[in-house]
């Protein structure tokens, strides 16, 4: 299956690939575009888990203490004798079903408790997330097996709130979201008393989800500032108890573990993921210096429905980026021009160069098609016969086209830098730079 085919096979609404912090691929479909908020579903858990790991790394939250020592209200619940670490790694033993296909599963009572809408006449159940957590009962022994259940994330959200004095939404905003250059506001859904849904209520645009993934890839740094402790991300990346994970029965994720509410692959790239129902994903591949953010609307909730067509696609993109880095060549995919003689390019003008194996050079001058020929010998490069179609364009685009067409015949050599940028250089030192997407 191709990357393009995987887009449709996974019911993708939007996918964005960052390589070394730069967008190299971005595609949307249906109602989603770059400005549209989308539910992150259980990717929210990984935001919650990271915030908790930050507090652990800073010594503000003790991972070894019992939850009841921090939240006395949970003393009589299943969480009362679980440690903070067991909650964060979801190795709590809970009498709680999250089987969405079972109308009698506890998840539906939980959903009713967390609904912000007025309760129906005669309703006598819990009326908030925190109310419901106090009703969860224990089944088994904590610490023995992964039990992936959303109530753990809301217990973690309560731990964060009790430790910091603010809800997770405010803590995320103050510590992370306000510092990563987010393009749009984000929001949490809340229950009837205003408690953010720490297990699945986060909504944001795709680009900002990718920014969050890049922060994790950068080990907590953004713009040269250490926003969150490196140790918090290191704890996540080292992974959790693989034997406990294996008992959960994720047959498609053999050898994986779960740590701090993140999925840890333990592959040779050190990949980790934030995952949500219906295909929501942040995939982080440190070896490829790559982040993939995806929103989707798969009709089947469980990720087992899309893992066979998603996980190999993520790895294929990572391997491709690594191979392109190792052996960059002129011939191959289209190069998108980012600068012409230190003057930049007009926003959204599709200036590009595409070196064909037969010596033809095609592409876009801006709003016209480019036609030329080229010869390459080592890093020496000559371009001849550069011309374009004659469609009338706005004056600024026409000036950019003329500048490009004048520079191309003067090119004498090419190179690529450490981030994969193609640099064409003329005899007098002027340059044209381009990157692949």
Residue 146 and residue 91 in contact, taking contact as beta carbons nearer than 8 Å: yes
Determine contact, residues 144/244, Cβ cutoff 8 Å.
Answer: yes
To the query of whether residue 42 is one of the catalytic residues in this protein, the response is yes
Within 8 A by CB and 6+ apart from 83, the residues are 63, 64, 65, 66, 67, 142, 143
Q: Token pair for residue 164?
A: 């910091």
Q: Please, which residues have CB within 8 angstroms of residue 14's CB and are 6 or more apart in sequence?
A: 26, 27, 28, 29, 32, 33, 34, 38, 206, 294, 295
3-class SS string, 39-106: ECCCHHHHHHHHHHHHHHHCCCCCCCCEHHHHCHHHCCCCCCCCEHHHHHCCCCCECCCCCCCCCCCH
Out of 42, 77, 265, 349, which one is annotated catalytic?
Answer: 42
Nearest C-alpha neighbor of 274 from the set 313, 309, 233: 233
In this structure, are residues 257 and 264 in contact, taking their beta carbons and an 8 Å threshold?
yes
- Give me the residue label for tokens 């129906």: 120
Contact 368, 401 (CB under 8 A): yes
Residue 227 burial class via C-beta count within 10 angstroms: exposed 0-12, middle 13-18, buried 19 and up: middle
Torsion of CA 101, 106, 112, 115, to 10 degrees: -90
CA distances from 388 to 72, 337, 364, 369 (A): 74, 16, 8, 5
Dist CA 15 CA 18 (whole Å): 10
Q: Which residues are catalytic?
A: 42
């Amino acid at each position: 299956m191709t990357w393009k085919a995987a887009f449709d096979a996974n019911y993708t609404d939007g996918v964005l690939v960052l390589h070394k912090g730069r967008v190299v691929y971005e595609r949307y479909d249906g109602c989603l575009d770059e400005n549209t908020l989308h539910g992150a579903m259980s990717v929210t858990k990984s935001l919650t888990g990271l915030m908790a790991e930050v507090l652990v790394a800073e010594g503000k939250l003790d991972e070894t203490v019992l939850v009841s020592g921090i939240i006395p209200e949970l003393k009589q619940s299943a969480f009362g004798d679980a440690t903070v670490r067991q909650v964060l790694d979801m190795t709590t033993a809970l009498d709680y079903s999250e089987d969405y296909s079972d109308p009698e599963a506890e998840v539906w009572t939980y959903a009713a408790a967390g609904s912000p809408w007025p309760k129906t006449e005669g309703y006598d159940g819990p009326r908030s997330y925190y109310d419901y957590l106090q009703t969860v009962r224990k089944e088994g022994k904590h610490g023995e097996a992964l039990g992936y259940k959303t109530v753990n994330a809301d217990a973690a959200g309560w731990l964060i709130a009790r430790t910091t004095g603010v809800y997770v939404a405010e803590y995320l905003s103050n510590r992370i979201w306000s510092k990563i250059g987010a393009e749009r506001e984000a929001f949490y859904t809340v229950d009837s008393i205003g408690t953010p849904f720490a297990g699945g209520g986060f909504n944001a645009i795709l680009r900002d989800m990718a920014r969050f993934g890049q922060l994790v890839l950068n080990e907590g740094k953004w713009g040269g500032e250490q926003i969150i402790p490196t140790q918090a991300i290191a704890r996540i990346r080292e992974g959790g108890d693989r034997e406990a994970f294996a008992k959960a029965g994720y047959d498609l994720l053999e050898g994986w573990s779960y740590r701090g509410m993140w999925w840890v692959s333990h592959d040779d790239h050190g990949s980790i993921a934030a995952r949500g129902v219906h295909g929501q994903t942040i995939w982080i591949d440190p070896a490829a210096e790559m982040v993939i953010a995806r929103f989707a609307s798969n009709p089947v909730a469980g990720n087992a429905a899309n893992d066979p067509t998603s996980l190999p696609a993520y790895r294929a993109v990572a391997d491709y980026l690594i191979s392109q880095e190792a052996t960059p060549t002129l011939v191959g995919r289209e190069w998108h021009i980012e600068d012409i003689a230190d003057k930049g390019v007009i926003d959204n003008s599709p200036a590009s160069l595409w070196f064909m194996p037969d010596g033809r050079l095609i592409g876009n001058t801006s709003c016209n098609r480019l036609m030329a020929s080229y010869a390459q010998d080592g890093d020496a490069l000559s371009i001849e016969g550069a011309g374009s179609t004659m469609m009338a364009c706005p004056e600024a685009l026409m000036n950019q086209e003329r500048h490009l067409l004048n520079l191309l015949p003067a090119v004498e050599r090419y190179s690529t830098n450490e981030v994969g940028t193609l640099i064409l250089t003329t005899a007098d030192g002027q340059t044209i730079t381009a990157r692949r997407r």
